[in-house]
Amino acid sequence: HEYVVHAAAALPIQVAKKSIYSVNIDGTRNVLEACLHHKVKRVIFISSTAVYGVPKHLPEMETSPLYPIGFYGESKVAGEKLCLEYAKKGLSMNIFRPKTFLGTERLGVFELWFEAIFKGRRVYILGKGNNKYQLLAVTDLVDAIEKALFTKVDGEIFNVGAKDFGTWREDLGAVISYDKSKSRITSLPTFPSQLILGVLEKLHLSPIAAWHYKTMPVDSYVSIEKAEQLLDWHPKKSNQELLLESYLWYKKNRREVKNRIGNTHRVGWNFKVLNWVSKF
């Protein structure tokens, strides 16, 4: 047990504060305590850009103020604080704040869009879709983790995201065009949609959490300069490349995905009430 990557987390869609805090705070404390006891060489903690909340200063820097949204964001801030406490006790570690990361077998909320594109239906987005939204390829995250495990750099927090990213309209539009789908991107009014999604979230009828619907319609991206400079990490995939790669995987494995309903990013989510929207 020389190296530990702590990536386990209860997601925003699991809603209940007790569940999220138990896994993301108490669970993190247990992992860190065990690592300290067993004298692990290096720990990597996967946090989230959810700690920043709705972006107020762009690009978000590692030193930007934290305004977490919901229990998930709050739990990630608490997890980071625990990591820094254990670093003071002598535990070697680095922390990552990744943007929403996507790849084969990791779909999450993107399944809703991919299914709409597959069937040639409308692709609904909050707002006009002209806002820039940075994503991250799972493969690029893995590369960053590997570099952070075996570097002399210690006790640092790093933002990680794609270097090349556009607006929702540009990036989703590229997938639609490549697939020659009949889908068209359709804007939903931001404020009314957020109110409705808020109600559905509270009724446990939608997997789209506050973190999603509050940040989706605004510019959201982070600076990755620190990781580039200190870790010599350079993301290889753009938003469009990682979205297309993920969509093509979904298209090939669609039937299997739909049979694996659950509440992790590796299975198809049960969209319940939201399913009717994609039929228009």
Q: Point out the residues that are catalytic.
A: 72
Alpha-carbon gap, residue 206 to 100, rounded angstroms: 18
Joined tokens for residue 150: 């075996």
d(CA 210, CA 104) in angstroms, rounded, equals 25
Task: Please tell me the distance from the alpha carbon of residue 70 to that of residue 213, in angstroms, as a whole number.
Answer: 12
- Closest to 105 (Cα-Cα) out of 118, 114, 97: 114
Q: Which two tokens stand for residue 125?
A: 């987005």
How distant is the alpha carbon of residue 127 from its chain centre? 20
Q: Which residue has the tokens 């993920």?
A: 246
CA-to-CA separations, 214 to 204, 217, 264, in angstroms, rounded: 17, 7, 21
Distances in Å between the Cα of 34 and the Cα atoms of 10, 42, 91, 171, 209 are: 20, 12, 11, 42, 32
Q: Measured between alpha carbons, how far is 208 from 131 in angstroms, rounded to an integer?
A: 19
Distance separating alpha carbons of residues 50 and 73, to the nearest angstrom: 5
Q: How far apart are CA 1 and CA 70, in angstroms?
A: 33
> Which residues lie across from 187 on neighbouring strands?
125
3-state secondary structure of 98: strand
